[in-house]
Amino acid sequence: MEHIPLLFAPPAEHYELIDCGGSEKLERFGEYITIRPEPQAIWDKTLPESEWQKRAHVKFQGTGSRSGKWIKLKPIPDNWEIHYSNGPLKINFSLALTGFKHVGVFPEQSVNWEFIFHSLKKVKKANPTFLNLFAYTGGASLAAKSAGADVTHVDSIKQVVSWARRNMESSGLDNIRWVVEDAVKFARREVKRGKKYNGIILDPPAFGHGPDGESWVLEKQINDLLKDVISLLDPEEHFFIINTYSLGFSALIVENMIQKIAAGAGLNIQPEAGELYLPAQTGVKLPLGVYCRFGNLNV
C-alpha cells in the first residue's frame, strides 16, 4: 500500500504545540502559551482542561476563525518577538494578539523556510530570484533573503506587508521588494513581462479578497493561477512549493494539478506531495494542510 508522505515541523525554542483536541490547540510561542481554535482537532484533548487553563497565558474566543477577542489568563504583552534559529538560518518574528486568532506566524512553515533557504543556496547564478505569493508576514521571504536572493513579496493586505517589513528589519535584513496587490493579477502581469524566478512559494487561503475587492475561491481559481505561476519558473534552475488549507483538498488533487501543468510548461518533474503537520508534546499529530513541492536543485 502506498502511503502519502508526511512533512512535519519539530518542536523548537521559538515554538511548541503542547496539546490539541476539542477543536482547540495549546501552543507555546517563545515564552507565552496560547489557546486558539483549531477546527481539525475534533478528537478529545489529552491533557485535562484544568491543565490547559493552568498553563495558558491567553485564550482566543470567537465564532470560527473570522473574528473574536483574546481573554488574558496571565500577564502577557499584546506584542512580543520570537527568534527562529536552525544552523545558518536565523530570522525574527514580531507577534501580536490579532482579532482573527492569528499571532503572526505559521510555525509548521519552518520546514518550507529551510527548503527555500537551502534550495537558493544551490542556485549557481549570482543573484537568484524568489517570489512569495499570498506572503503574509514573510517567513518564506526572510528565509529567501537570508540565502541571498532577490525577493518579491506579494500580499493583498497593506497592514500585513508592513508587519512583514518589521520582521525583515528585526532580522537584520533589507531590500525585499514589497507588493500590495492581488496575487492573481500580479502573476498574470509577470507572465506578460516574461519574468522568471528560481524559486516560488504559493500559500493561498481557501477564501479571500484582494485590495480592490477581488474575490478568491481556492477550488475555482487555483488551477488557472498555477498555470501562470509555474510558467514563471526559470527552466534551468528552479523549485516550487504550494500549501493549501481547504479541508476538501487532498494531496492527490494538488499533485495531479501540478503534474499536468508542469508537463504543459515543458518541465519534467517528480513532485513530492503530502500532508503538513505539527507533532504535539502529548503525541498527537495535528494536520495543517496539504503541500506539494518540486525542483531540480537536488536539495
> Which among 117, 155, 151, 149 has a CA at the least distance from the CA of 134?
155
Residues 37 and 74 in one domain: yes
Residues 149 and 207 in one domain: yes
Same domain, 137 and 185: yes
Q: In this structure, is residue 271 part of a structural domain?
A: yes
pLDDT of residue 59: 97
- Give me the number of domains the chain comprises: 2
Q: Indicate the residue among 79, 96, 126 that finishes a domain.
A: 79
* Residue 191 to residues 83, 195, 270, 278, Cα–Cα distance (Å): 36, 6, 24, 35
Q: Could you list the pLDDT tens digit for every one of the 299 residues in the chain?
A: 345 566 777 778 899 999 999 999 999 999 999 999 999 999 999 999 999 999 999 999 986 545 789 999 999 999 999 999 999 999 999 999 998 899 999 999 999 999 999 999 999 999 999 999 999 999 999 999 999 999 999 999 999 999 999 999 999 999 999 999 999 999 999 999 999 999 999 998 777 777 777 777 777 889 999 999 999 999 999 999 999 986 677 899 999 999 999 999 999 999 999 999 999 999 999 999 999 999 999 76
Q: Tell me the whole-structure pTM to 2 decimals.
A: 0.93
In a domain, 277, yes or no: yes
Give the model's pLDDT for residue 4: 57
**278 shares a domain with 165:** yes
Give domain status of residue 96, yes or no: no
Query: Domain of 30: which CATH number?
Result: 2.60.40.1180
Q: Are residues 53 and 123 in the same domain?
A: no
Please give the residue range of the domain that contains residue 237: 106-295
Q: Are 19 and 144 contained in the same domain? A: no
Q: The C-alpha cell of 19 is what?
A: 496539546
At 2 the pLDDT is 47
Are 32 and 118 part of one and the same domain? no
- The reply to whether 71 and 111 lie within a common domain is no
Residue 91 counted as domain residue: no
pLDDT computed for residue 213 by the predictor? 73
Q: Is 46 domain-assigned? A: yes
- In a domain, residue 94? The reply is no
Query: Are 75 and 221 found together in one domain?
Result: no
Q: Are the C-beta atoms of residues 273 and 255 closer than 8 Å to each other?
A: yes
Specify whether 45 is located in the same domain as 160.
Answer: no
List residues bridging with 70 in a β-sheet: 60
- Quick one: pLDDT at residue 1? 38
